[in-house]
Amino acid sequence: MGNKIIGIFLLFVVACTSQPQTGTVTEKDGTITIKVDLESVKDGHLTDYFEPEIEYLLLKEKENPDSQIGEIAKLIGYKDKIFVFDWWIGKSVQIFDRQGDFIRRIRNVGDGPGKYIELADVQVVQDTMYLLAHPKKIIKFDLEGNFINEIKISVMGRTFFYDTESSLFFIYSGSRAENLVTVLDHSGKVIRSYFSSHPDVFYGNMGDPVNFYQEDNSFYFARTYADTLYRFTPDGFKPKIIFDFGNEAMNHGKLKEKQKKMDDDAFRKYFKENSGNSYSPYGFSNTKYILSRIRIGEKSAVSIFDKQNKTHDLVNFDLINDIDESFNFYPPIYQLEDNEVAVAYRGVSLYNKAVEKKQSMSEEDWKTYQEGKGKDFIEAAFYGKETENYVLMILKTKN
């Protein structure tokens, strides 16, 4: 099991000795430190970060019940297909083309090869779909949804990442695991482990939507409350981006102490009021941005790090829609292909947004809007009215 990194989650406290001013980004020895202050949260506009065009894509609901989407946990765009991962309601992966037409659903609940009891995560790479499933397996399918084979694994998986450079699987097993990340080959053999669970670190019960971010020819690992993104290198994981909250950072030792002394209800209340600021991996990473969240109790802001210009913005949840002025919404969190990202709305929800928009305008202004910049939005909302499936609002990040 060699190469365990003991207590690496404490590194963010000492990894960078410089003390940048609020809102600044500094770099030392290849490690980036972002000084964060939630008092600096500002309004953001879509055109600050995205090209001035929104594509509305209805994932069509056919008579075939397999086309009906439960809840979207993850969207993946790959070679003119969109893969919809629903681990909670549908326990399936649905495949649509880029016109929104349904192709196939993978839902192999049961025992035996190619089957599963629960799904945890999905990744599509090198013309292969990999499903992280329970009980303890990785199942491989081709892009048409045909079963190829499966790999038995010895650890519980919550999220995972297949690194094409090393041809290895990196499995995140959750905060209660002895090692948070375990590396496996295609036979299921354990190669090494990283991030040994540390008694001085508060892990909580937070379910991380995203633990692994793609980064050029490598990737990052991150976890809620850790405040650090670790980049994988030939020498293992190294701190790459540190979110410095100063005196407002989460006090892990104090939270651990309070958790031992309080019952669950009392601790939840205490945590809500006294948790301090922390990082929350939720969003996407592409060649331009890393978009995620910053948390303080139950409040959150959107963190947008510009990789190319080494700048950082902290913005309110709803970006001002200055593209088609349909409505303001939380920045896209699903990464499709290249610089394409998406946010998903139920068709009925989108229709209700259109109704709200119409009620706020005069009849003349509505007609002008409907025939002009709001044309695509209104058409999508009209078709979305008749379905419980989702409409994707697809944007492209700026170069």
- Domain assignment of residue 259, yes or no: yes
Q: What are 312-330's pLDDT values in tens digits?
A: 999 999 999 999 999 999 9
How many Å apart are CA 123 and CA 22, to the nearest integer?
Answer: 37
pLDDT at 232: 97
Confidence class for position 206, pLDDT limits 50, 70, 90: low
Per-residue tokens: 347: 């068709």
Domain count within the chain: 1
Whole-prediction pTM value?
A: 0.91
Percent of the chain clearing pLDDT 70 (strictly above): 94
Tens digits of per-residue pLDDT, 329-374?
Answer: 999 999 999 999 999 999 999 999 999 999 999 999 999 999 999 9
| Residue 115 lies inside a defined structural domain of this protein | yes
Write the CATH number for 353: 2.130.10
In this structure, is residue 74 part of a structural domain?
A: yes
1 assigned to some structural domain: no
Give the mean model confidence (pLDDT) for residues 205-230: 89
Identify the pLDDT of residue 297.
67
Evaluate whether residue 2 is within a structural domain.
no
Name which of 57, 54, 55, 62 is nearest 387 in CA terms.
Answer: 62
Residues 14-63: pLDDT tens digits?
Answer: 333 333 344 589 999 999 999 998 888 999 999 999 999 999 999 999 88
Average pLDDT across the chain, whole number:
91
Asked whether residue 3 is assigned to any structural domain, the reply reads: no
222-273 per-position pLDDT tens digit? 998 989 999 999 999 999 999 999 999 999 999 999 999 999 999 999 998 8
Instruction: Assess if residue 87 is contained within a domain.
Output: yes
Q: Report if residue 42 sits inside a domain.
A: yes
Q: Which domain holds residue 287?
A: 8-396
